[in-house]
């Protein structure tokens, strides 16, 4: 059956029928539809100048030069060069727009804290790409001559990322205090980037940093540690990061111990594969020692999976049948493997299941209702937010005190701490029965829509 083929952790028992759980408005469905259409307003409509450029740029796709192979090769290279310069210009314009939006706190309009989180939630870009655009905007603001070259396409986003280490207000002020001319520093960087030896830019930047702050910042080992977990569309994911010397030694020692203990005769896996397996074994060992693992939302850390009973019991492989707590979609065989040593919780509507609606006698959302909400929502339901379930509060959509809302699954929505606060200060989430999903509205009743406009250009 699979998650996209009709999987429904809540067979429709009419729990969401009869309108929104929020009770926040009396608009008819037609009026709501009209309001949603009007809500695809300024933030979703391309400005006229960008629409015109986009239409022209789309005409560049697929064009091929004519002529013989030698001529064609030269023209192809020139085309790549020109398109790269165009991309540099667009990247610079985007960075400046992101910076302007950051200064105006525009992300708050859609309930986000920063332009980084807004880009991730609304534009489908990675956190690294979003952070890079934010840094680039700040860099161009500090270096006007560099910014002028960037908008001409003469410096690349990669080069801007390199000089960003120098182009902070604190470091530029420190250079000025040392008697340096900041404009000359900027010109040196620009001449290096656009001159005959652009590959020297990292070395020049490092030399400037060493001169500005020869001792470097006070070492803080926790700031030298970072780890990025990136899920893959096909399942699984990649891990990369860095550690300080002592932290690296600790992690390396533990993983090596698991790697050596797990070696068997005729093991044809390479060292990297063995170390990857050792990391999973370390996680297994920690999850098995429940008392030593920190609590998440009053529950011990555990791997969660949502799957229909039919797919769980199916002896055939059913792809995309289950959803992990992180949101990854996996086959039923993965869920079956986990169920061998797990607690299985049945989440159903109906007289033979757990009574999900416990009325108004209890305000706090109990464990069985929270599990049901987690199975339905999969994380924060606020538009553009991907916070996992363990970051979320259980929110009464219809207020327990002010609106006499019940403590029930249909009146519960998962919201991360930030968006839970937003919903209590003007924003609103509503369940859309016809589409079986949540919608998010601003204080003026306009809907927050993520992604791209259906009509561009």
Look at residue 229 and tell me whether its pLDDT is greater than 90: no
One domain, residues 84 and 154: yes
Look at residue 210 and tell me whether its pLDDT is greater than 60: yes
Mean per-residue pLDDT for 406-412?
Answer: 81
One domain, residues 109 and 234: no
Out of 293, 328, 353, a domain closes at 293
Q: Which of 331, 289, 292, 297 is nearest to 314 (CA)?
A: 331
Distance CA 374, CA 394 (A): 9
Position 41 confidence tier, pLDDT thresholds 50, 70, 90:
low
Look at residue 386 and tell me whether its pLDDT is greater than 60: yes
| Backbone phi, psi, residue 145, to 5° | -65, -40
One domain, residues 139 and 208: yes
Mean per-residue pLDDT for 420-433?
Answer: 88
pLDDT of residue 17: 41
Q: Average model confidence (pLDDT) for the chain?
A: 80
Q: Which two tokens stand for residue 442?
A: 């601003």
Look at residue 18 and tell me whether its pLDDT is greater than 60: no
In a domain, 451, yes or no: no
Position 8 confidence tier, pLDDT thresholds 50, 70, 90:
very low
CA 81-82-84 angle, to 5 degrees, is 65
Look at residue 352 and tell me whether its pLDDT is greater than 50: no
Q: Distance of CA 234 to CAs 43, 237, 321, Å? A: 32, 8, 13
Look at residue 360 and tell me whether its pLDDT is greater than 50: no
pLDDT of residue 75: 85
Q: DSSP character for 235?
A: S
Position 24 confidence tier, pLDDT thresholds 50, 70, 90:
very low
One domain, residues 196 and 253: no
Q: DSSP character for 329?
A: E
DSSP string, 153-206: T-S-HHHHHHHTTT-SHHHHHHHHHTT--HHHHHHHHHHHHHSS-GGGHHHHHH
Distance CA 112, CA 406 (A): 28
One domain, residues 90 and 160: yes
Position 313 confidence tier, pLDDT thresholds 50, 70, 90:
confident
Q: Which of 379, 384, 281, 59 is nearest to 394 (CA)?
A: 379
In a domain, 242, yes or no: yes
In a domain, 208, yes or no: yes
pLDDT of residue 19: 42
Out of 148, 182, 212, a domain closes at 212
pLDDT one-digit tens code per residue, 102-153: 999 999 999 999 999 999 999 989 899 999 999 999 999 999 999 999 999 9
In a domain, 410, yes or no: no
Look at residue 6 and tell me whether its pLDDT is greater than 50: no
Secondary structure of 103-141 in HEC code, one letter for each residue = HCCHHHHHCCCCHHHHHHHHHCCCHHHHHHHHHHHHHHH
One domain, residues 268 and 233: yes
CA 337-342-343 angle, to 5 degrees, is 140
Regarding predicted confidence, which is higher, 292 or 148?
A: 148
Look at residue 87 and tell me whether its pLDDT is greater than 70: yes
One domain, residues 176 and 231: no
Position 21 confidence tier, pLDDT thresholds 50, 70, 90:
very low
Position 260 confidence tier, pLDDT thresholds 50, 70, 90:
confident
In a domain, 256, yes or no: yes
One domain, residues 191 and 228: no
Identify the residue whose tokens are 């990669």.
Answer: 158
Distance CA 394, CA 365 (A): 7
In a domain, 188, yes or no: yes
In a domain, 138, yes or no: yes
pLDDT of residue 11: 41
384, 110 contact by CB (below 8 A): yes
Regarding predicted confidence, which is higher, 365 or 204?
A: 204
Out of 293, 322, 342, a domain closes at 293
Helix axes of 201-212 and 182-194: crossing angle, nearest 10 degrees: 160
One domain, residues 199 and 227: no
Look at residue 164 and tell me whether its pLDDT is greater than 90: yes
Q: Which two tokens stand for residue 384?
A: 């553009």
- Count of structural domains, the chain: 2
16, 336 contact by CB (below 8 A): no
One domain, residues 207 and 243: no
In a domain, 325, yes or no: no
Look at residue 455 and tell me whether its pLDDT is greater than 60: no
One domain, residues 147 and 255: no
Distance CA 436, CA 16 (A): 9
Look at residue 225 and tell me whether its pLDDT is greater than 80: yes
Q: Which structural domain range is residue 102 located in?
A: 70-212
Look at residue 392 and tell me whether its pLDDT is greater than 60: yes
For residue 61, the Cα-to-chain-centroid distance in whole angstroms is 29
Q: Which two tokens stand for residue 175?
A: 């250079």
One domain, residues 142 and 160: yes
């Amino acid at each position: 059956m699979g998650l996209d083929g009709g999987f429904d952790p809540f067979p429709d028992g009419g729990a969401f029928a009869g309108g929104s759980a929020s009770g926040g408005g009396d608009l008819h469905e037609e009026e709501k539809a009209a309001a949603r259409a009007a809500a695809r307003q300024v933030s979703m409509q391309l400005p006229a100048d960008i629409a015109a450029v986009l239409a022209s740029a789309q005409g560049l796709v697929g064009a091929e030069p004519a002529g013989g192979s030698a001529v064609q090769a030269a023209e192809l290279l020139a085309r790549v060069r020109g398109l790269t310069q165009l991309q540099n210009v667009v990247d610079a314009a985007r960075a400046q727009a992101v910076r302007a939006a950051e200064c105006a706190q525009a992300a708050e309009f859609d309930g986000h804290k920063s332009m980084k989180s807004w880009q991730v939630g609304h534009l489908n870009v990675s956190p690294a790409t979003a952070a890079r655009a934010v840094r680039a905007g700040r860099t161009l603001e500090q270096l006007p001559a560099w910014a002028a070259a960037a908008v001409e396409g003469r410096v690349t986003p990669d080069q801007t990322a390199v000089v960003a280490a120098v182009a902070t207000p604190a470091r530029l002020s420190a250079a000025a205090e040392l008697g340096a001319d900041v404009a000359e520093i900027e010109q040196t960087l620009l001449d290096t980037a656009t001159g005959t030896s652009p590959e020297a830019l990292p070395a020049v930047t490092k030399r400037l940093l060493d001169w500005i702050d020869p001792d470097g910042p006070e070492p803080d080992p926790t700031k030298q540690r970072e780890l990025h977990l990136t899920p893959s569309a096909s399942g699984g994911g990649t891990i990369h990061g860095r550690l300080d010397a002592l932290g690296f030694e600790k992690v390396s020692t533990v993983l090596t111990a698991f790697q050596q203990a797990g070696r068997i005769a005729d093991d044809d896996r390479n060292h990297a594969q063995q170390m990857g397996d050792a990391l999973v074994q370390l996680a297994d060992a920690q999850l098995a020692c429940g008392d030593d693992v920190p609590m998440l939302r009053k529950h011990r850390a555990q791997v969660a999976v949502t799957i229909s009973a039919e797919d769980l019991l199916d002896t055939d492989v059913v792809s995309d049948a289950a959803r992990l707590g992180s949101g990854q979609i996996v086959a039923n065989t993965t869920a079956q493997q986990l169920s061998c040593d797990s607690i299985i919780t049945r989440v159903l509507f109906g007289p033979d299941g757990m009574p999900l609606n416990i009325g108004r006698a209890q305000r706090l959302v109990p464990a069985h209702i929270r599990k049901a909400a987690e199975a339905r929502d999969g994380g924060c339901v606020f538009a553009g937010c991907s916070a996992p379930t363990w970051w979320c509060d259980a929110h009464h959509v219809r207020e327990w005190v002010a609106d006499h809302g019940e403590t029930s699954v249909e009146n519960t929505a998962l919201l991360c701490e930030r968006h839970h606060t937003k919903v209590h200060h003007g924003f609103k989430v509503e369940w859309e029965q016809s589409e079986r999903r949540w919608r998010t509205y601003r204080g003026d009743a306009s809907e927050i829509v993520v992604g791209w406009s259906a009509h561009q250009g």
